[in-house]
Structure 1
Amino acid sequence: MLRISRIAGPALLLVVAFTAVVAGLQFGGGADAPILLDPGAVVRWGLPIAKLFVNLGLAATIGALLIAIFAMSPKRDEFTLTLDFAAAGAALWAVASAFTGFFTFLAVRNQPIDFTSAFGDVLASFLTVTELGQAWLATVLIGAAVTVLCFAVRNPTGLAFVLVLAIAGLVPMALQGHSGGTADHDAATSAIFLHLMFAALWLGGLLAIAIAQPKLTKSRLTLVLRRYSTIALISFIVVAVSGYVSAEIRVENLSNLLTPYGLLVLVKVFALIMLGLFGAVYRNYAIGRLESSHTKSRGWFWWIVSAELAFMGLASGAAAALAATPTPVPEVVAADIPDSSPAAYLTGSPLPPPVSASNLFSLWSFDLIWVLICAFAIFFYLAGVWRLHKRGDSWPIHRTVFWVVGMLLLFYITNGGVNVYEGYLFSMHMLGHMTLGMMIPVLLVPGAPVTLAMRAIAKRTDGSRGAREWILLIVHSRYMAIIGHPVVAAGIFVVSLWVFYYTPLFRWATTDHVGHEWMIIHFLGSGYLFVQALIGVDPSPHRPAFPIRLLILLAAMAFHAFFGLGLMTGTGLLLADWYGAMGWDTGVSALQDQRIGGGIAWSVGEIPTISLAIAVAIMWRRSDGRASVRYDRKAERDGDAELDAYNEMLAERR
């Protein structure tokens, strides 16, 4: 019976997912023949089914890799079996992506299949020239590379990079499909990416445990399940929130829930609710009972797992059918936007209201990625402080205040009025940049998140790597030792500023959503490294003398001021075909706005500079005070022997 229950889970997943996608296509009309240019029934049905297997392969790969490097010990057979499953999932991902790309080509080009060189030339052109073809070609290549790496790499650190590569394979998929109209494209892309990634972690993690269970003893199984339960809870929250955002963009109102697309969305919502109930059963009942059970029989538990996988199959099949089903809200392209300004054609969104103090704090353009990052960062920080409090340890209140305020400021900059206007005005872009690179790190670094994590997170003893072990590995790595050196950190902080604005990186970050996300990560990270090198509380391999820190700070800020002055006095417009072509009559020319941005880069940067200089001076004074106290105590213990020896040396030299 137990053997049957182990097999039933993955089998139910496949059967239910396949049944759900076929039923969803039939009900929603996703596989109906178009009036013109019908690619054929094989393509119409084969394309969404192939996408379903792409999603399942991705889930098996990403979920298994995370479980392997986070929940399992490399010293045990469970680790090897999980990686073999990840490799199998990556192979399925690559093959299914190849079929999906081919079916997409047939659907888009309506090209009859033949074996002539002309057909091959058209296919090659589609895969290498068009964005859609390039996306599926990249997905196939990433899937193939991950397949090989899962077999070749067995070191947890190396596998972490393989996991990052696998997650990067989600980006081309997130840029396709129902990504919303042009005005909602960025929000829809972020929602799809998060939905795909955390659904994969959730489904793939459970599948990996089910596959690896022959190598797990009862004690190991309960331990791995507790670790997976944390991943599943976070995944449930992110999948629910990202799913809501996607539905809001494509369904828009309650009446549209009665359309075929809306009803399929309700099927996914039902599956999500059931999966949430399964998660509650795991955390509050099943794992505890499994751990305390004195019998070896675990069949009842695997039947629960099988039922959960069946609902995951239902959600996966409905998602694949939704991707092929017409949405009730039409996707509005730039040409159809009522606002006829050039800005609408460039950005895909109508012009916002004029800039004012009230609009800066009342208008919002939410970026779901940073909404969740800020929310989780505050929650886990406060949870760590609460854990210390419960066991009687103290944590300075000012560190908590710094961290929370810094995260709230990050939330505003990435979602508030500055984010609304930065695509239209260079000055607003520069205000956001300076806040990300200068002001937010000055608040976050004194929060000492690494120190808190080291004290609050339990150390593992089974050879696996949890959050504490991964954080320590990163902090003490040779790479961090290099880029965390004060001189190197200052160089990255200053040089990247010039490189970014005077290379194609600036255009990429301004016109492309992926580039915009990279820009936020880079400048937030470079600013954090620079501030950490100067006033960091967290452990660091380099602690230069305080006079050296002040010299580094002054040198970096001098180059920073030169950059701001260069923009203020410059006569050439950066991204003239973007900021200079908005057609927005604000009473200030694009060049004047750029000069205002230069003034912001110069003046706003001075406030954190002064704060950093004061902080370094205070730390210097406290360090001298502590050194003086230590010397006085030593003198009391040995009768000031050091001073007596020094006086004797002077007397001998006379």
Structure 2
Amino acid sequence: MSRSSAYRLTGVVILLGAAAVAVVIALLIGGGAKAPLLQDPGAFVLWGTPIAKLVMNIAAAAMLGSLVLALFALRSGEKSFDTALNVASIGAAVFTVAAGLAGFFAFMAAFNPQLSLEREFGAQLGRFLLTLAIGQSWLITTVLGAIITVLAFAWRSWTATLLTAILAAASFIPLATQGHAGDLAGHNVAVNSILLHTIGAAVWLGGLLLLIVLRGRPDVDTPRLVARYSTLAIAAFVVVAISGVARSVVALGDWSQLATPYGAILIAKVVLLGGMGLLGAWYRARLIPKLDGERASRWFWMLVLCEVALMGLASGAAAALARTPPPTGEESFAKTPAEVLTRTALPPDFTIDRWFTSWDIDILWLVAAGFGLFLYLAGVIRLHRRGDRWPIHRTVFWVLGMLMLVWVTGGPINAYQEYLFSVHMLGHMMLSMAIPLLLVSGAPITLALRAIHKRDDGTRGGREWILWAVHSPFSRVVTHPFVAAGIFIFSLWAFYFTDLVRWSMYEHLGHEWMVAHFLISGYLFVMSLVGADPVPYRLPYPGRLITLIAVMAMHAFFGMAIMMQEGLMVADWFGSMGRDWGPTPMEDQYIGGGIAWSIGEIPTLILAITVAIQWSRNDTKLQRRTDRNADRTGDAELEEYNAKLAAMAERDRRQAERERA
């Protein structure tokens, strides 16, 4: 066995061994393997469930982390890229089997049936997988794992790998909505934090596993690969840390709960996370720059094994923690209609002071906005250090747009949008019109193309992926002004006059989809009309104004249509909230239509004024260009034009004389 093969085997053994030890100890401490009081499914199910979840988590990391690192650090078509996809495919296959087993164990724990091959047992299992939410989640996860296994093995192009990676990340969603996250008062925060936590950890651990697999390969530029993985690991560490804090706050309730078994396991995870962060920071600063040297390389790969051991311990603790009931999980049943619908108590009256004191943070969009602010400001600083200038007003627009995104998704609008249709509509207008106008004015694509270094080794970094996205056929379609305007307007009617609005109220995934969809559709529409960022096609200025006028008219009709509704939209939600303050549900719906009709037109009017100003400036630039050309050529074009007119006049005169003769 070669040294590289022995190192790979050692890494896998350390990871699995550390994870197994951690999960056993944490289960014994937290009581996650104890039989429930009402029914005992047996030791095989009680211990098999966390072990299956542990294997599933590690396999998911190999699946997603390998795909992400391949897209960011390797060259398509080379053996190292194919190896990464092979690792992802194997990880997805193990993930599929482990998810299937974990789902089966969940069925056995829930119903405690007698294991048999009879039809009744199969029918009961089928009902669990097809009718219950937890069963559906396990079924969807297993099916997605099987699909990813095939895609990662069969498709090896850049685009196919990107789509496979997106699908791999999406496979984390079904289970994030289940388990203890669904029982907590802070349901939305718990779901988003678990999703971010698992994806961040998967990218971190999976990339590290791929480094071990690719060690010693002659076709791999190890220093570059490690440096690029380190960049991904830093981002993953930040996501894992922030989401972990948010999840802990929701699960614990108060600091005194750290003394519980759940708190003890949580403290162990925090210590392990801190150790991995310090270890990564140390070898990024000290060893990676010297990785070409033999001594530094030997120390680096030894530290990688240490990090793998810490990762294994953290993974085992996480698997056990998922089986340990949190201190805040044992809550009384909902007592009010608002608690039944939203899992939270009805807030107080929406008075003026609540606009400044109400917060309901959405950790998903907080993290997204945080990364958006950091990356944008980092790009501006890089240009400044290089001696290039970047307009200060664009930076101001971007910062304001990101801060407004945080405020809309985590401030008073988010705190009350579930209870008041008018507030929900106001948030929609801000997401689709006000925030995109600010973000587009920041010209983030132009900044990224100027600030991010161009790669020369055939791999794709941020700049290369942005250029691919801008010039892709899909981008040419969705950024066309008519298509973008159609998506923008059609979304309004399709969302509020179909069951999509109901889905966004009852399901957390629907709410997050709504936020993302309206933000993106608004951004595409604004970018197709104004802005400095490159798009495949923009209409002439008269066409842009006509498009805007048409959109404003359709927007006004939409608002009036809501105001004229005789029945209550989503009556089983807004009409059943049990509010004893504020306008009645029908009055509130009328106010919401008025917001869409009036306040919603303000950003569109600003956009129209912006188009008119740009049109005027464009005409001025054309006139100045014409004047400079005339000064440079001595009005040669004008003299040529006058000579042509004179020749035509002379020809007409001679023709008239011949006719008279």
- TM-score class, shorter: over 0.9
Amino acid at match of 1:258: A
What's the offset of the Cα at 1:3?
5.1
In structure 1, the partner of 2:290 is 289
TM-score by length of 2: 0.96
What's the offset of the Cα at 1:356?
1.5
What's the offset of the Cα at 1:216?
4.9
What's the offset of the Cα at 1:180?
5.5
Q: How does 1:196-235 map onto structure 2 within 5 Å?
A: 196-216=198-218, 220-235=221-236
1:46-83, CA deviations, whole angstroms, 9 ceiling, x for partnerless residues? 01100000101100000000011111111422111111
In structure 1, the partner of 2:279 is 278
Unaligned runs of 5+ residues in structure 1 are none
Q: Does 1:328 align with 2:327?
A: yes
Q: Does 1:414 align with 2:409?
A: yes
Cα distance in structure 2, aligned partners of 1:519 and 1:216: 47
Cα distance in structure 2, aligned partners of 1:253 and 1:410: 29
What's the offset of the Cα at 1:467?
0.8
Amino acid at match of 2:435: I
Cα distance in structure 2, aligned partners of 1:587 and 1:303: 64
1:381-418, CA deviations, whole angstroms, 9 ceiling, x for partnerless residues? 00000000001000000000000001111110000001
What's the offset of the Cα at 1:2?
5.9
Q: Does 1:134 align with 2:143?
A: no
Q: How does 1:212-611 map onto structure 2 within 5 Å?
A: 212-216=214-218, 220-291=221-292, 293=293, 295=294, 298-332=297-331, 335-337=333-335, 340=336, 342-611=337-606
Contact 1:84/1:150 (8 A) holds in 2: yes
Contact 2:478/2:484 (8 A) holds in 1: yes
What's the offset of the Cα at 1:132?
1.1
Cα distance in structure 1, aligned partners of 2:26 and 2:412: 40
Q: How does 1:49-198 map onto structure 2 within 5 Å?
A: 49-179=51-181, 181-198=183-200
1:307-353, CA deviations, whole angstroms, 9 ceiling, x for partnerless residues? 100000000000011111122223436x344xx3x222221211111
What's the offset of the Cα at 1:297?
8.5
1:461-506, CA deviations, whole angstroms, 9 ceiling, x for partnerless residues? 1111111111111111111111111111111111110011001111
Cα distance in structure 2, aligned partners of 1:119 and 1:3: 45
Contact 2:77/2:156 (8 A) holds in 1: no
1:251-294, CA deviations, whole angstroms, 9 ceiling, x for partnerless residues? 22222212111111111011101101111112101101213x1x
Q: Give 3-state SS (helix, strand or coil) of 2:529's partner.
A: helix
Structure 1's 59 and 15: CA in aligned 2 closer, same or farther, altered over 3 A? same
Which structure would you say has the larger Rg?
A: 2
Structure 1's 302 and 88: CA in aligned 2 closer, same or farther, altered over 3 A? same
1:178-229, CA deviations, whole angstroms, 9 ceiling, x for partnerless residues? 21535311110001000010000000011011112232567x1110111111
Amino acid at match of 2:637: E
Contact 1:77/1:215 (8 A) holds in 2: no
Contact 1:535/1:615 (8 A) holds in 2: yes
Contact 2:338/2:346 (8 A) holds in 1: yes
In structure 1, the partner of 2:653 is none
Unaligned runs of 5+ residues in structure 2 are 650-661
Cα distance in structure 2, aligned partners of 1:531 and 1:288: 43
Picking from 28, 34, 37, the partner of 2:36 is: 34
What's the offset of the Cα at 1:587?
4.7
What's the offset of the Cα at 1:250?
1.5
Q: Give 3-state SS (helix, strand or coil) of 1:332's partner.
A: coil
Cα distance in structure 1, aligned partners of 2:78 and 2:465: 19
Higher mean alpha-carbon deviation, 87-96 vs 34-43, is at 34-43
Cα distance in structure 2, aligned partners of 1:429 and 1:216: 57
Contact 1:10/1:306 (8 A) holds in 2: no
TM-score by length of 1: 0.97
Identity rate, percent: 50
Q: Does 1:10 align with 2:5?
A: no
Cα distance in structure 1, aligned partners of 2:90 and 2:184: 37
What's the offset of the Cα at 1:4?
3.8
Say what the alpha-carbon RMSD is for the aligned residues: 1.4
Contact 1:561/1:601 (8 A) holds in 2: yes
Cα distance in structure 1, aligned partners of 2:183 and 2:331: 5
May I ask how many residue pairs the two structures share in their alignment? 647
Amino acid at match of 1:261: Y
1:102-144, CA deviations, whole angstroms, 9 ceiling, x for partnerless residues? 1111111101211111111111111111111111111111101
In structure 1, the partner of 2:657 is none
Contact 1:6/1:302 (8 A) holds in 2: no
In structure 2, the partner of 1:641 is 636
Amino acid at match of 1:322: L
Q: Give 3-state SS (helix, strand or coil) of 1:179's partner.
A: helix
Cα distance in structure 1, aligned partners of 2:159 and 2:306: 34
Contact 1:182/1:349 (8 A) holds in 2: no
Cα distance in structure 1, aligned partners of 2:362 and 2:42: 39
Cα distance in structure 2, aligned partners of 1:587 and 1:49: 51
